[in-house]
């Protein structure tokens, strides 16, 4: 509509200029008329060339100093970049943005108008702040390039997306009953601390970058002159098991669970206790289990967890525990009843 109105107005201006030219037969008006007739074509051709050669991409930078994950209620940054190798310019290109939190299944649509500079293109920094944890995804599907004269707005389809995992906010410090937690976990913890308990060591293998230092079998490594790692794949009922329910009757409920789980597990891990994080995968219908020794393990586990589907039963995860993992005697059950977060040690009976 905007273009049509502009074309009509331009047509009127051209007509008036034509009248002036006819009336005055002036060299100046002749030049003006040539400009008025030729420029729309050139402008549109430039827009077509721009459409052909420009490329749009969206990238994420977790924060201004870099980092692997974003944190809830802290800034994260995305960049929309339009590259333009041509010597042409657009002063009004609209980028259609789709913003989603995939874990919480929320989305919104926005437009960003930006120029496209010649030869280099343009970049827009979008600082966002996640009020909920999960995966934030920014998606560009189309851009609309307007020519300099404003007659056409050419659509260019180009899918580009960027995502960032947002870790829950640490909401303070829990004064948990250590004795209660230690009921079924301390044995494992102690053995792991000693570093000489091979009862749950499934295999010894060569070091792979990314393995933890504490997993390295120093003695064997010294003998073989190559780093060897104790792979603790097996879990025993002596470790602290934390079962997180991915319940979402509303966003706040899930937010509470995630924040509480993250805070508590982080606190436990910080205290030097290994945690076995479990959650029920609705899509695969099985438990996902991750060993958490450090906070980085926790972040990784959460970022993986964000790809799961949520459910509405606050005991959905716990309900399968006895059947699937009868070896676990007790575990820390983290769930919510919509109003508050519930942290209980549950007997797996």
Partner 1 sequence: MAKKTKKDKNLIELCEGVVLCEDFFEQKEKRILTLLLKGFIVYLLSMGTIGFYLSAIHAEYNALLCHMVVFVFAILCSMLYYRLFTENLGYFFIFVTFASLVYLLRIYINSGFYAIVNMSVEEAAQYFDVDIQRLYNEQIENRYLTITMIALFIGIVLDILLNVYISRRMQYATAMFIVMFFNVIPLYMTLEPDILYAMMILVGISLAYVIKVSRHYSPQVAIKRSDSKYETRGKKKREFFYTYDVKALSQASLIVFIFVAAVVTIVSTVRPKESFNAGYKQNKYKEVTMAAVGIFLTDGWSGFFNYGQDKGGMNSGKLGTVSSIRLDYQTDLMIKITPYSFDTIYLKHFVGESYNPYENYWTSIRYFQNSEDTVNISSAEAEALKENYEQGGTNSAKAVIGIRNIDGDRNGIYEPYYIGEISDYNDVGYINEVFYPRLRGNDTVVDTSYYDSEPFTDMDLYVPEENIAAIEEFIQNFDHSGTDEEIISNLVNYYQDNIPYTIKPGKTPRKKDFVNYFLTENKKGYCAHYASAATLILRYLGIPTRYVEGYAISYYQLSDAELVEGKEYSDYYDGYSELGKTAVLQINATDADAHAWIEVYSEDKGWYLVDVTPAGEVEENEDFWDMFDNTTDDDAADSDDGGNQFNVNISDSFVKGVVYVIIGIIAGIIVVLLGIRAIAGIALMIRFLKSGLNDRLIIRYSSYYKRRSRFNKEFKNKINYLEQIQYIYNVKKEKLARKNEEKAMEFEKQFDIERIIDILNRAGFSDKEILQEEYDYVSKILF
- Please report, as ranges, the residues that interact with partner 1 according to CB under 8 A: 6, 13, 20, 22-32, 34-35, 38-39, 42, 46, 63-65, 67, 71, 73-75, 87-89, 91-92, 97, 99-101, 104, 106-118, 122, 124-132, 134, 136, 146, 148-150, 251
In angstroms, the CA 251 to CA 132 distance is: 8
Among residues 167, 183, 194, 199, the alpha carbon closest in space to that of 241 is found at 183
For partner 1, the closer CB: 3 or 290? 3
Q: How far is the CB of 68 from partner 1 (least distance, A)?
A: 12
Residue for token pair 């009020």: 131
Residue for token pair 């851009």: 143
For partner 1, the closer CB: 101 or 192? 101
Give, for 113, the enclosing helix (H) or strand (E): strand 106-116
Q: How far is the CB of 34 from partner 1 (least distance, A)?
A: 5
Residues 216 and 229 sit within 8 Å (Cβ to Cβ): yes
For partner 1, the closer CB: 128 or 345? 128
3-state secondary structure of 4: helix
For partner 1, the closer CB: 64 or 322? 64
For partner 1, the closer CB: 130 or 181? 130
Partnered with residue 90 across adjacent β-strands are 116
Give, for 230, the enclosing helix (H) or strand (E): strand 228-231
Q: How far is the CB of 169 from partner 1 (least distance, A)?
A: 10
Q: How far is the CB of 58 from partner 1 (least distance, A)?
A: 13
Q: How far is the CB of 260 from partner 1 (least distance, A)?
A: 17
Q: How far is the CB of 51 from partner 1 (least distance, A)?
A: 17
Signed CA dihedral, 18, 22, 28, 31: sign only: positive
Residues 324 and 291 sit within 8 Å (Cβ to Cβ): no
For partner 1, the closer CB: 9 or 180? 9
């Amino acid at each position: 509509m905007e273009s049509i109105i502009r074309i009509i107005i331009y047509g009127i201006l051209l007509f008036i200029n034509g009248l002036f030219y006819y009336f005055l037969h002036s060299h100046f008006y002749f030049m003006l008329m040539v400009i008025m007739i030729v420029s729309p074509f050139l402008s549109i051709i430039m827009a077509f060339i721009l459409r052909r050669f420009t490329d749009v991409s969206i990238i994420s930078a977790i924060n201004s100093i870099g980092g692997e994950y974003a944190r809830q209620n802290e800034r994260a940054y995305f960049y929309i970049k339009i590259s333009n190798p041509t010597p042409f310019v657009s002063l009004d290109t609209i980028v259609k943005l789709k913003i989603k939190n995939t874990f919480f299944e929320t989305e919104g649509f926005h437009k960003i108008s930006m120029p496209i500079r010649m030869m280099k293109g343009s970049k827009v920094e979008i600082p966002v702040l996640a009020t909920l944890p999960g995966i934030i995804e920014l998606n560009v599907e189309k851009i609309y390039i307007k020519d300099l004269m404003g007659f056409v707005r050419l659509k260019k389809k180009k899918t580009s997306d960027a995502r960032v995992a947002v870790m829950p906010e640490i909401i303070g410090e829990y004064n948990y009953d250590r004795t209660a937690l230690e009921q079924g976990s301390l044995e494992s913890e102690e053995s792991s601390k000693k570093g000489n308990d091979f009862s749950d060591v499934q295999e010894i293998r060569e070091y792979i970058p990314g393995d933890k230092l504490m997993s390295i079998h120093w003695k064997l490594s010294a003998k073989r002159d190559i780093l060897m790692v104790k792979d603790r794949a097996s879990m025993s009922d002596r470790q602290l098991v934390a079962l997180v329910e991915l319940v979402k009757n509303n966003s706040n409920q899930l937010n509470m669970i995630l924040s509480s789980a993250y805070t508590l597990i982080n606190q436990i891990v910080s205290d030097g206790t290994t945690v076995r994080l479990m959650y029920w995968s609705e899509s695969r219908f099985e438990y996902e289990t991750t060993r958490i020794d450090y906070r980085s393990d926790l972040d990784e586990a959460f970022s993986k967890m964000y790809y799961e589907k949520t459910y509405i039963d606050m005991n959905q995860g716990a309900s399968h525990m006895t059947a699937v993992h009868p070896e676990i005697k007790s575990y820390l059950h983290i769930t919510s009843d919509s109003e508050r977060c519930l942290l209980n040690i549950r007997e797996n009976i």
